[in-house]
Structure 1
Amino acid sequence: MSFPTPSSPPDLVIKNRFLGFLIWQSIPSTMIYLFSKTLISAIVNTFTHSTNSNGSTTGRNPLLVFVPSFIGFISFFTFHLSQLLFSATLSVVASPQPERSASPLELAIGIFRLLVVPGDGDVGGRLPENDSPDFRRRVKVSVSFFMFAAASAAAGFTAAVSLCGVSLIDEYDCGFWLIERVGLRGFVVGLLFGLHYVYKRRWVLEFPIIQRPPYFSFKMELPSAARRAFRLSSAAFLLSAILTEILPHPFKSKLAMQKFFTEQIIFSIGIFAVFLCWELSHHLHQVLHTKRFIFAPPKGSAAAETNPSEHLLAALEESNPTSLLRYLAYLDLYMVCENNVDPWRRAAFFEETGETYKRVIAVCLRPLEHLSSRLGEGLGNSVGTAAQISNQLLSPTDTRLDLKYLESLNNFQLYAWCSKTVASLTAGSHREDKFGVAQLSGSNAAVISTLISCLLAIETITGKKTNLQSPNQLLGPAGIRWATVNTGRADAIASAKKRSGPVNSKAYAIADVLKNSIYQVVSAFHDEMLASAKAGMLEKEWVANGKPLFGSREILVQKLRLFLDFQAT
């Protein structure tokens, strides 16, 4: 049966989580709206009270905000409509995989090519290909970012008018002019929030390995969300105030001093309430969409007895590579393999035919193979003198080399899941694989070869020398050991300058995960590997046949020997 189907639970989990997010985000938004509306009404009542003939003051009761009225209903409805608009576009722009968008210059050039220079040929080798899949993908990402920023601005306009403008329309002259002024400021602060959200890449979903209950995770985020909302609302308030003051009439303030300060206080409270709602919606979206989903039939059912891994493998193999469904499947697989959750599912991977095990290893190695191939294309797929000379020609402070690999290294959490999963399965096969499918299928050699190839590619872009030499190569014809030039200080200075770059921080993190994964496998099979090395069979049993994705088979064998001697650093 094809999977996923429209009626299958794994396919519906994304839709159900989205609908649940829309429902749950309305609860804190309603509470914040009522509290803010009461506070704003109290401030308006305090600063716009009237004085009777006997000197007493009268004003509206702040609790009248809870009394049903037509204007109150419209204000409440429009506020939640703005929250719904923000939440819906938040789900559109959110992605588990970091995506690179097209720059404004690339978009302008693409439009120019589409209108003026038809055809598939590149003009001068500089204009982007309109029909290129990568260019179309980046254009879609840019459009989604633009939609989110525009939706944030519209939501800010609507929420500001609902919270602040409606409260002031009965108390000020030219009430509709004041609504326009408040709406303009709400539009500006909403646009600033959207741009800041996109620029800080907060739309990338981060999957926690330690899965806490959603309520506990949401509760723990409340203080930090309030602090972040206060900082952002303060900056946005000042920028919007400056903008409205430099604009010509009718947006420039013409109120009395007391009413002017009242407007500022009310707007600051309103925009803080809006930002707090958005921050809580952002965190609630993260919590609900990154919660682990179990891709397995119920334990004890007929499907669990026959093939419990089919749902998981179908999600990994047939879903979109950048979809949330596939990332949830990788997370579920990682949890089963790394934390030994659901041992019956882990044991099902080592079934007699070996097909399930080979499919699991293949889907986990695919992202690492893709990473090695991309880095190999950028480096010319060489681990020797050519690659090092090419890197040395660039200045240590030159970032052109780093920016080339930045996009390939962004997806750290997927690479970490895949490397740890294959390492756990390979190491676990030493005691759990009763039929020997891991060794007989060649999966062990494929795992070691892919992990080492990927590690070599990562180490090459960080400037580490990977052309290993035997001690005999340093001996001259007369058996004299030639001294090598000491460039340690220069290499250390260059490495220190490059280490601060964004690429190297990600590269070192991925390299650490790969080393730990390789050491996990080597520790489990240490005795067998030592015996194979003494018999001269290490290359045959633990390195895959054919040309590696990066480097050569000789370098892979030498690197594996370093791990076997626990000298790889």
Structure 2
Amino acid sequence: MSSAPMAPSPPSVIKDRRLRFLIWQSISTVSVYLFSSLLHLRLGHFSLSDSLLSFLALHAFLLLLSSSFLLLLSPCPAPAASLPELSTTLRKSAFKWAIGGFPRPDFTVDSVSRAWRSLKSIFFLVVCVVAGIFSVVAACWDSDEGAYSLRLRGAVFGFMYGAYYLASKRWILKFPIIQRPLFYSFKKYFYSSFTSALKMSVRWFVYSFMLLLFLPAEFQIKGTIGRWLISQIRVLLGIFTFSFCWEISHHLLQVLHTRRCIFAPPQGSAAAETNPSKTLLEVLEQSPPKSLLQHLAYLDLCIVSENNTEQWRRAAFFEESGETYRQVIRACLRPLENFTSKLVEGLEGRYGDCSDLFLKQMSLPMDFHTYSKLNAAFDDYELCAWSSRSLAALTVCSRHKDRYKVAQLSSCNTAAVSTLLTALLAVEACLGKKTGGPSKQFLSPTSMKWETVEEQCELHNKAYAMADVLRASIYQIVSAFWVDMQASAKSMVLDKNWISEAKPLFGARSVLVQKLLDFLDYRAV
């Protein structure tokens, strides 16, 4: 695991990363433009003043596009309001304002965030079109095509790039499974940026060329075929130049914002000797939900919990009072409990008890509303995966490192096992597995059709991956405490020692005990 730079303070983490992104983006733009200028020189047309003006214009609009990248950036999917929803809300607000004076519109927090996300997307699309127009004109200044044709090409490229960026959800940060050195990440994404920029530039050059065929004759290039061919090569080279810069900026954004941040003082300092977990706990407790800072904190916690590279930080969790360990476990349980609650809400719908859920599972395939609610529950997949892995690693570590028996005496182990089992049962129910229901004397398993998620769809892939993470975490705990759990099972106190007394969010305590017995027998698949 590669080392990461120390974070000076939580509020400045995001600001420093954005500044670092703009610096690296400027360096990469200069490098790409210098190389493309050499190709322009070989094609014959070269002017130092024109080239400098072209570079300044290209870089200015690339900075504008990069700012819109940062505005749209999010570590997890964020729903946006549709155009009919926006128009309906505006009509209702206008009607209420006209009839009832000046009342305050009753917007919910969710509707405001959805509307704000839609406005961000529209603004990003407009910026892409504007940046595409001026970037094509700046990059293709030595072409024989007229300004109108170049602006049209730029508008087509910018609109299609923005639409593709939004449709493919490239604004969502994708945290790598393994944190590799920065140079390796740059080298890896450099090749992918080159290939994707080449494909996009060729594809959208063809689209814009076909559109230009419908222009009036006065906008067409007049001259020999050779002159026309050289002009098209220059246009293609110019489009590839700034599309390559755009792709590099996108990948730089991903690399620099998904780097691990260490929320701890330097080892050996006074703060590290007294309370090294203070900064991490503050970020875990106080960071806004679904924010980048929150994701970075959970990523740091997961790496500290699973690896032996920073044992002094992990050992600080098991201090004498046990308060630090309880705070860390509560922070890990919170995303999993929220995730399970959302799944239960999506599975049950308007029904409240298990029998209604059982009857619903035998109904026809789920409708779009249920599918959307279940799919939205997996938006925090990375947070839940990191929390699950941290829970398992810390619970296993507490077997030997917890000298004061805080984990067992404070019921942290039972809370961890119960939460993981409950989340797994909810995910398996989402996948269509039976988790409990009416007695077999009333219904035969062969006579019922369970509601399942269609394979290879987005929801199925997310649920399958989440179930795999939860199952691996539970097996990790079971393997470490197998002797103790077997003794508890033989003494008929497995539910007392390893299952919380509180009512689970999904299923029943007896179902959790049976599921834990399946893990003890290594039959939970």
Identify the residue that residue 114 of structure 2 maps to in structure 1.
138
Contact kept, 8 Å, 1:37 with 1:163, in 2: the verdict is no
1:89 equivalent to 2:64? Answer no
Identify the residue that residue 101 of structure 1 maps to in structure 2.
80
Contact kept, 8 Å, 2:318 with 2:324, in 1: the verdict is yes
Letter in 2 for 1:371: F
Contact kept, 8 Å, 1:468 with 1:558, in 2: the verdict is no
Query: Alignment partner of 1:281: what SS?
Result: helix
1:392 equivalent to 2:362? Answer yes
Equivalent residue runs for 1:148-227 within 5 Å = 148-164=124-140, 166-168=141-143, 172=144, 178-227=146-195
Shift, 1:451, TM fit = 0.9
Contact kept, 8 Å, 1:156 with 1:190, in 2: the verdict is yes
Shift, 1:379, TM fit = 2.3
Question: Unpaired segments of 5 or more residues in structure 1?
Answer: 1-6, 46-61, 122-128, 477-481
Alpha carbons of structure 1 residues 423 and 382: separation in structure 2 relative to 1, 3 Å: farther
Give the distance between the partners of 1:194 and 1:424, measured in 2 at CA.
42
1:313 equivalent to 2:281? Answer yes
Shift, 1:534, TM fit = 2.4
Contact kept, 8 Å, 2:355 with 2:437, in 1: the verdict is no
Give the distance between the partners of 1:382 and 1:514, measured in 2 at CA.
25
Contact kept, 8 Å, 2:58 with 2:242, in 1: the verdict is no
Alignment counterpart, residue 223 of structure 2, candidates 256, 264, 269? 256
Identify the residue that residue 24 of structure 1 maps to in structure 2.
24
Contact kept, 8 Å, 1:41 with 1:167, in 2: the verdict is no
Alignment counterpart, residue 272 of structure 2, candidates 278, 295, 304? 304
Shift, 1:500, TM fit = 2.6
What percentage of aligned pairs have identical amino acids? Answer: 42
Identify the residue that residue 398 of structure 2 maps to in structure 1.
429
Identify the residue that residue 14 of structure 1 maps to in structure 2.
14
Contact kept, 8 Å, 1:189 with 1:236, in 2: the verdict is yes
Alpha carbons of structure 1 residues 134 and 508: separation in structure 2 relative to 1, 3 Å: same
Shift, 1:439, TM fit = 0.9
Give the distance between the partners of 1:99 and 1:41, measured in 2 at CA.
46
Contact kept, 8 Å, 1:331 with 1:417, in 2: the verdict is yes
Shift, 1:455, TM fit = 1.0
Give the distance between the partners of 2:10 and 2:443, measured in 1 at CA.
63
Question: What's the Cα RMSD here?
Answer: 2.5
Identify the residue that residue 323 of structure 1 maps to in structure 2.
291
Alpha carbons of structure 1 residues 483 and 301: separation in structure 2 relative to 1, 3 Å: closer
Alpha carbons of structure 1 residues 249 and 103: separation in structure 2 relative to 1, 3 Å: farther
Give the distance between the partners of 2:304 and 2:481, measured in 1 at CA.
21
Query: Alignment partner of 1:204: what SS?
Result: coil
Deviations 1:313-360 (A, max 9, x none): 111111112221111111111101112230000000011111101111
Query: Alignment partner of 1:79: what SS?
Result: helix
Query: Alignment partner of 1:388: what SS?
Result: helix
Letter in 2 for 1:441: S
Letter in 1 for 2:110: D
Identify the residue that residue 4 of structure 2 maps to in structure 1.
none
* TM-score calculated relative to the size of structure 1: 0.84
Identify the residue that residue 77 of structure 1 maps to in structure 2.
56
Question: Unpaired segments of 5 or more residues in structure 2?
Answer: 1-6
Alpha carbons of structure 1 residues 420 and 485: separation in structure 2 relative to 1, 3 Å: closer
Shift, 1:93, TM fit = 1.0
Deviations 1:515-555 (A, max 9, x none): 11111111111111122222232222211222211122222
Identify the residue that residue 332 of structure 1 maps to in structure 2.
300
Alpha carbons of structure 1 residues 464 and 203: separation in structure 2 relative to 1, 3 Å: same
Query: Alignment partner of 2:120: what SS?
Result: helix
Give the distance between the partners of 2:302 and 2:195, measured in 1 at CA.
34
Identify the residue that residue 34 of structure 1 maps to in structure 2.
34
Equivalent residue runs for 1:48-59 within 5 Å = none
1:363 equivalent to 2:331? Answer yes
1:290 equivalent to 2:246? Answer no
Contact kept, 8 Å, 2:342 with 2:377, in 1: the verdict is yes
**Higher Rg of the two aligned structures:** 1
Alignment counterpart, residue 510 of structure 1, candidates 446, 449, 466? 466
Identify the residue that residue 3 of structure 2 maps to in structure 1.
none
Give the distance between the partners of 1:236 and 1:311, measured in 2 at CA.
48
Identify the residue that residue 59 of structure 1 maps to in structure 2.
none
Alpha carbons of structure 1 residues 270 and 483: separation in structure 2 relative to 1, 3 Å: closer
* TM-score calculated relative to the size of structure 2: 0.91
Give the distance between the partners of 1:531 and 1:326, measured in 2 at CA.
39
